[in-house]
Structure 1
């Protein structure tokens, strides 16, 4: 009798989980975003312009018609929000100095040769660009008022979170801004600062979503995050050393890159972004897995891919020719 009761409970749980997996609207209100992005330019397109600069952003938006700019932020000593990836100035030739130790006016321009983090061994020649200065976030907001922007809060500083939040509110960009960090601590601070701004999943949130998916709990899980932005683990395979590390990357790819997870999140109104993908084969795999959008260092390449593969284009999206 007890076994029959247990079997019935388990069977009911499995059936209910499967129903909610495909019809999450029964339990959850679908998230509504003001935009849908397929074409996302990583650091403005680090393979085609000096990363995180106005020049790169102009190329991505004007020449490539990107749907979203991805960028990184730090705080200078005088409290200005600076668009830059690293806390130090290694990419400006002064690794011994940190952005937080200098006033904004003292920050040097980027080097003429910049490494591509997601293309091992490759670099971008920025010598043809006269302006390689690190811009302010306010300058980016002013230059691209209607372009959605994805902000990585690079360090755990209350002042940085507050400053970015104030700028987003000042420019009334809450509906077209996404922010967060791999750190749950930073992401929680972002949410407390302004819950109306789109929120990325921290790494602990990603792990929770994936693990709950395999035990059937994901359809029941409330999610405050609005954007599931994760790396495609397979791109890391050439970058890691040692058999154990490669095995872990392989396992992460097998567990994370599953259409049933990505499509469930999309049904709940979350956007799914995979990064940083730099080849047509990677673009194709991402969209076939169920990604909403792809983040790339090569916005021109992704533009041509979407133009040549209209089956992946979002309804109503106009592609730059």
Structure 2
């Protein structure tokens, strides 16, 4: 037992101190990544809180407001066109219960005239009163009954442009604006066509592969390994394990961007579909585990950008930057621009 304390504890202490030192000084072991872009202002779905998501009007408006990066999702039509759409099924966006992959480009329906902003549902308690008559001992009494119910307010976007955009048109109009493309389905043809368009328009340095699915990300990397790419969910979990085990400073990382939720928006401006994420304790634990300033500072020092989303209020934007985000993704490019303008002026 004494030999354990004699050998193991000093070794463990030395490892801990070395890990902490290298966490703060990653340049000793790792060369800083030099990406062709550094984005503080990112427009989620093209700034879908101010214009209809994924339309050329939305992208144009976001760029006019000074966005540094456009975030979007892609799908493939039956006749092989890469279109910008968050969903494969168009029911939410158009009212038509049909998949993009089953339609030719010319048959795609228009977006709804007003489209709800997914990450700005808003939630509040509404109380109201009503009068009722009660009979007590043969005497009628007038009572005021107060009821409390949970209401969800919707924030909607609208615009003149209701056409589902082509990815190629985005590349043509904004040749120098960085774009983060999330691939949601394991579709090799879609991935290859996206890669071909990126190469055709000479955008390999300013277009980011993004996917929550590790297997999809691997296929994206096989299709085009020259493009920067973000962390998938599985690699994000691995990143946290490396961080908490102290191994992170010793491990090389290929990713250029970490994109992650700001947990404090859950059940306030964003109502998750998964029931487990509606639990306060779960969200609180998620925030404590993931929102680590020392982790984000380490990644930033290695040239890996940290984008937190979806921040649609000033308080959330401030919280994201305070915890160490290098960039913020918002549905409201005007709100984010005003915040950055005010705070840059103060600095």
**Cα pair distance change 1:186/1:231, threshold 3 Å:** same
User: Greater CA deviation, 113-122 or 299-308?
Assistant: 113-122
2:321 corresponds to which of 268, 287, 295: 287
> Which residue does the alignment assign to 2:6?
4
Residue number in structure 1 paired with 2:132:
none
Which residue of structure 1 lines up, in the alignment, with residue 49 of structure 2?
Answer: 47
Find the aligned partners of 1:99 and 1:283 in 2 and give their Cα distance.
34
| Matched ranges for 1:109-258 at <5 A | 109-120=110-121, 121-126=153-158, 128-129=159-160, 131-238=161-268, 239-240=271-272, 245-258=279-292
Q: Which residues of structure 1 form unaligned runs of 5+?
A: 314-321
Equivalent residue for 2:149? Answer: none
Per-residue deviation, residues 116-145 of structure 1 (Å, max 9, x unmatched)? 11011423242x41x210011000000111
CA offset digits 1:57-102 (Å, max 9, x no partner) = 010002x011011111001111110100000111443442100001
C-alpha root-mean-square deviation of aligned residues, in Å? 1.6
TM-score, L = length of structure 2? 0.86
User: Post-superposition, which runs of at least 4 consecutive aligned residues in structure 1 deviate over 4 A?
Assistant: 240-244
Partner of 2:97: 96
CA displacement, residues 24-67 of structure 1 (integer Å, 9 cap, x when unaligned): 111112111111100001111111001000000010002x0110
- The 1:312/1:137 distance shift into structure 2, 3 A limit, reads farther
Q: Distance in 1 between matches of 2:13 and 2:229?
A: 35
Normalised by the size of structure 1, how large is the TM-score? Answer: 0.93
Q: 1:298 aligns with which of 322, 332, 346?
A: 332
Alignment correspondent of 2:129: none
Structure 2: unaligned runs, 5 residues or longer: 122-152
Distance 1:116 1:155 in 2: 22
Give the equivalent residue in structure 2 for 1:72.
73
**Equivalent residue pairs, number:** 310
Specify the alignment match of 2:127 in structure 1.
none
For residues 91 and 12 of structure 2, the distance between their equivalents in structure 1, rounded to whole angstroms, comes to: 56
* 1:242-276 deviation digits (Å, cap 9, x = unpaired): 79732211111111111011000001110000000
Report which of the two structures shows the higher radius of gyration computed on alpha carbons.
2
